[in-house]
Each structure stands twice: as C-alpha cells, then as structure tokens.
C-alpha cells in the first residue's frame, strides 16, 4: 500500500538549539486525531487535538496515511488553540512525497489547555469508497535525523506525548451522484441562523422533496427563503412541524421547465435559537416528514430523463450552539456604538478565515466576497441580524461550492447606509 508521510511542524522561536529528551512531569500530554465519516466524493476535514497540562514552547506532529484514498489539500488553524498566538507565520512545502507545515511564533508559549490544534483538509479519491483509512503517528527519516511526534516544554526539553490515532471512514459510493447537503455553522444562543440546503443533479429534475429533521427544541423553525437559489422558478411548498422537529420543502419545477443538471443552493432555512440554550451540537438530518406516512427525501426525474423517483445521496449538517455566557465576556453583549467591519483573520489564509463585524442595531445586512473584477464570488450573509458582534467563516469556496483560486479578494458589508470593504488574500 502506498503511503505518504504528512509532517506537520509547529515550531516556536522559544525553541532553543538544545534538544534533550525529557519525561512529561504531569498528566500524560496527549495528541489525538479525530474519527470522522465522509461521503465517497468531496473532501474531509480531520481535527487534530492537543491536551497539555503545562506550558509548551513547541510541538511537532508526524502523521501517515494512505495516498490511494486521500489527497492532502491544506491545513487550517481557524478556531484552533494556535489561532491567536502572536506572530504566527505559515510555511507549507509539498515536495517529493513530503508535506512540511511550519508555524513560527515570536513571544508566546502554548498554554495548558485541551482542544483543537489544527484541521487537515483532504480530498477523497475514488478508491477510498467503502474503506476505513487510519491516520496514525509515524516517523520520517531524513539524511541527518528522524522526525517524529514530540512536544517541547518551556525550557526546550522535548518528550514523546501520548498519541491516539484516528481514522476517516469513507462511505460506499451511492448508485447515483445526485446529492443533497446541508450547511454546518456555529451560533450563539439568542441568534438567528441561516442554513443553506444544496443540491446536485446529473439529469433534468421535475420535482424535489426535501425532508429535514433537527435534533433539539432549542432550534426554532422560522422561515424558508429562496434568494439566489436554483429554485426561483419552482412552485414551492414549505411545511414545518416544530413538535416533531420536521421540515418539508416541496419544489415543483414541472416537466417543461425542469431543474437542469448542475449544483448549488436550493433553499435557505432560517432558525431562531432559544436564548436559554446551553452548549449543544444540533444535527440537521434527512428524515420522513410526519413519520411514518409522510414524504421522504426524493428527486423526481422528468419523463424524458427516465421518469425515476429516487433518494439522492445526503450529507447532514449541524448548528454548533454556544450559550450566551460561554460565548465570551459579558461586555461582548453590550450593543456597539457604530457599524464596523474587522480585518479577516488569518490573512493571508488557506483554506478558511474568520470575518467579524459589529452592528449597533438589528437590521438587514449583506456580506459578500468579490474578486478584483468586481464579480460576486460568494454571498456569506444576506438576512436580518440582531445588533451585536457577529462572525462568519469563509471557507474559500464560491456560491456553487467550488474551491476558488489563489489571489486577492475583497469582502464588503452593507447594512442600511453603511458600506465598508476590505482586502484579503488566499494563498495555496
């Protein structure tokens, strides 16, 4: 089996040139890799996490994986424990079956804590369908020494942490690559969230039935909107049963004006989050509406395309709710005095970055990404939001879900009479 070493160096200038192996003086510091399940097409986001009970001056992680099933794409520190360490500089080298990721910090240690160290983005290759791909620690022999997973304490003494391997479970390829997938977003209790429902079809479709469930009463159905979607020409029906936590969206395009092959947004579901909600991951999944007699998730082909009715491949999404008290300091919930748009972080970025903005009052806002020609690349938000501080993750993809090229982009916030734009750079 062909294997590739993925070597991730997380160095800090607090490292000294002295290298000596020492034992971990407290509870076993641990690096662990997540276990995730993904479709047989698309990409996988694999978390790598760290627990340490004392200050660290650096870390090095060496991972191995099967390159017949996975292709390395990029690494992201967005939302990680390293994201806000001062003076982080990225360097990625991919040469001769070696991927070298380096991060340099100038003044800070890694404090004791537990959580995300970084995310690795992989593309799923066709041979991976129906397999389990282990992701384990390994060593990488170089000319003068061997690289392996290790940590460095504040005195630059290095030691081997406990390691827990992970895996990527790749589902079997479906009989059709027609598919439906749901956004995954983070939100704070009391907010309203917009969840995009996307679809891909390879033949003309006369009708779509989207049937969704959500796993918590803390998520309150509000509305369905179809702005900038592929469903503008369809006859639409929206039904919701909050008690059953079910939603049915019927899209009837007709035989003469079908939904032609393509991919993109089908609908956007708006939810309100209970102000009293605690930390919770609410899954948005496929279901039968009004079980057991009701409607299921289905695509209906036109007669000319074969006239079949079938269930498309489905990928669930989620809303990661954080309670208002956990979301930050209390002063974060004092209304700002004016509109503001912050510089994205990190910048340059690959593959994702966070955009934050402040609203002094509730109102309809629009946050868009556009290229140097002024063409809209992605609409990140187009809805009414409450006053306060907000943040959006831009994942380097366009409105159709495709990855955008490296280069200079701009993002613009429009709210009432306020308009502001800033520049950001995507580097791959």
Q: What is the pLDDT of residues 27-38, one digit of tens each?
A: 689 998 888 877
Q: Would you say residue 267 lies in a domain?
A: yes
Whether 87 and 159 map to the same domain: the answer is: yes
Whether 263 and 288 map to the same domain: the answer is: yes
Whether 191 and 162 map to the same domain: the answer is: no
Q: Distance between CA atoms of 6 and 66, rounded to whole angstroms?
A: 10
208 pLDDT band, cuts 50/70/90, is very high
Whether 138 and 83 map to the same domain: the answer is: yes
Q: Which residues contact 317 (CB under 8 A, 6 or more apart)?
A: 181, 182, 183, 184, 185, 195, 283, 284
Whether 20 and 164 map to the same domain: the answer is: yes
Q: Which of 322, 355, 385 is the last residue of a domain?
A: 322
pTM of the shown model? 0.44
- Give the domain extent around 93: 3-170
Least confident of 23-27, 163-167, 207-211, 384-388: 23-27
Asked whether the predicted pLDDT for residue 223 surpasses 50, the reply is: yes
CA 238 to chain centre: 27
Question: How high is the pLDDT of residue 18?
Answer: 31
Total structural domains within the chain = 3
Q: Would you say residue 328 lies in a domain?
A: no
Whether 33 and 163 map to the same domain: the answer is: yes
Whether 22 and 156 map to the same domain: the answer is: yes
Q: Which of 26-35, 281-290, 293-302, 352-361 has the highest mean pLDDT?
A: 352-361
Whether 9 and 69 map to the same domain: the answer is: yes
Whether 29 and 134 map to the same domain: the answer is: yes
> What mean pLDDT comes out for the span 289-295?
51
Q: Would you say residue 201 lies in a domain?
A: yes
Whether 192 and 146 map to the same domain: the answer is: no
Question: How high is the pLDDT of residue 220?
Answer: 93
115 pLDDT band, cuts 50/70/90, is confident
Using a pLDDT cut of 70, give the percent of the chain over it. Answer: 81
399-404 contact pairs (CB < 8 A, 24+):
399/228, 399/264, 399/265, 400/262, 400/263, 400/264, 401/198, 401/263, 401/264, 403/351, 404/377, 404/378
Question: How high is the pLDDT of residue 230?
Answer: 94
Relative to beta strand 30-33, strand 162-164 is parallel
Asked whether the predicted pLDDT for residue 42 surpasses 80, the reply is: no
Whether 197 and 223 map to the same domain: the answer is: yes
| 84 neighbors 152 (Cβ within 8 angstroms) | no
> What mean pLDDT comes out for the span 145-170?
84
Asked whether the predicted pLDDT for residue 331 surpasses 50, the reply is: no
Whether 62 and 96 map to the same domain: the answer is: yes
Q: Distance between CA atoms of 181 and 74, rounded to whole angstroms?
A: 22
Q: What is the DSSP string of 75-137?
A: EE-TTSTTTTSTT-EEEEEEETTEEEEEEE-SS--B-SEEEEEEEEEEEEPGGGTT-EEEEEE
Higher pLDDT, 277 or 5: 277
Q: Which two tokens stand for residue 50?
A: 């760290």
> What mean pLDDT comes out for the span 177-181?
84
Q: Which two tokens stand for residue 37?
A: 């399940």
Asked whether the predicted pLDDT for residue 259 surpasses 70, the reply is: yes
Q: Which of 170, 200, 232 is the last residue of a domain?
A: 170
3-state secondary structure 302-360: CCCCCCCEECCEEECEEEEEECCCCCCCHHHHCCCCCCEECCCECCCECCCEEEEEEEC
Q: Distance between CA atoms of 188 and 203, rounded to whole angstroms?
A: 39
Q: Which of 298, 322, 346 is the last residue of a domain?
A: 322
Indicate which CATH number applies to the domain containing 13: 2.60.40.680
């Amino acid at each position: 089996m062909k294997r590739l070493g993925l070597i991730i160096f997380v160095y800090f200038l607090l490292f000294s040139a002295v290298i000596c192996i020492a034992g971990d003086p407290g509870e076993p510091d641990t690096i662990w890799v997540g276990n995730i399940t993904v479709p047989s097409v698309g990409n996988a986001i694999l978390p790598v996490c760290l627990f340490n009970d004392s200050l660290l001056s650096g870390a090095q992680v060496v991972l191995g994986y099967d390159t017949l099933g996975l292709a390395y794409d990029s690494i992201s520190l967005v939302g990680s424990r390293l994201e806000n360490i001062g003076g982080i500089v990225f360097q990625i080298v991919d040469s001769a079956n070696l991927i070298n990721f380096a991060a340099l910090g100038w003044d800070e240690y890694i404090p004791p804590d537990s959580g995300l160290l970084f995310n690795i983005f992989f593309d799923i290759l066709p041979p991976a369908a129906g397999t389990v791909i282990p992701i384990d620690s390994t060593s990488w022999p170089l000319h003068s020494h061997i690289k392996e997973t290790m940590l460095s304490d504040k005195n630059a003494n290095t030691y081997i942490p406990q390691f827990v391997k992970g895996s990527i479970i790749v589902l079997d390829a479906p009989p059709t690559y027609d598919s439906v997938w749901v956004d995954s977003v983070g939100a704070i209790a009391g907010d309203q969230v917009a969840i995009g429902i996307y679809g891909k079809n390879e033949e003309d479709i006369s009708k779509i039935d989207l049937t969704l469930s959500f796993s918590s009463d803390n998520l309150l159905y509000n509305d369905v909107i179809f702005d900038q979607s592929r469903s503008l020409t369809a006859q639409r029906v929206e039904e919701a049963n909050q008690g059953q936590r079910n939603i049915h969206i019927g899209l009837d395009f007709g035989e003469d004006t079908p939904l032609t092959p393509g991919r993109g947004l089908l609908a956007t579901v708006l939810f309100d989050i209970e102000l009293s909600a605690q930390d919770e991951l609410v899954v948005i999944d496929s279901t039968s509406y009004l079980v057991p007699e009701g409607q299921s998730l289905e695509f209906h082909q036109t007669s000319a395309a074969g006239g079949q009715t079938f269930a498309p491949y489905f990928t669930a999404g989620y809303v990661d709710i954080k309670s208002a008290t956990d979301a930050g300091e209390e002063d974060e919930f004092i209304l700002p005095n004016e509109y503001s748009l912050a510089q994205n972080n990190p910048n340059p970025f690959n593959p994702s970055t966070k955009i934050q903005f402040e609203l002094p009052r509730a109102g309809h806002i629009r946050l868009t990404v556009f290229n140097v020609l002024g063409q809209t690349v992605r609409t990140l938000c187009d809805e009414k939001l409450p006053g306060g501080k907000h943040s959006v993750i831009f994942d380097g993809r366009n409105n159709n879900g495709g990855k955008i090229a490296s280069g200079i982009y701009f993002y613009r916030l429009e709210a009432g009479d306020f308009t502001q734009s800033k520049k950001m750079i995507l580097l791959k």
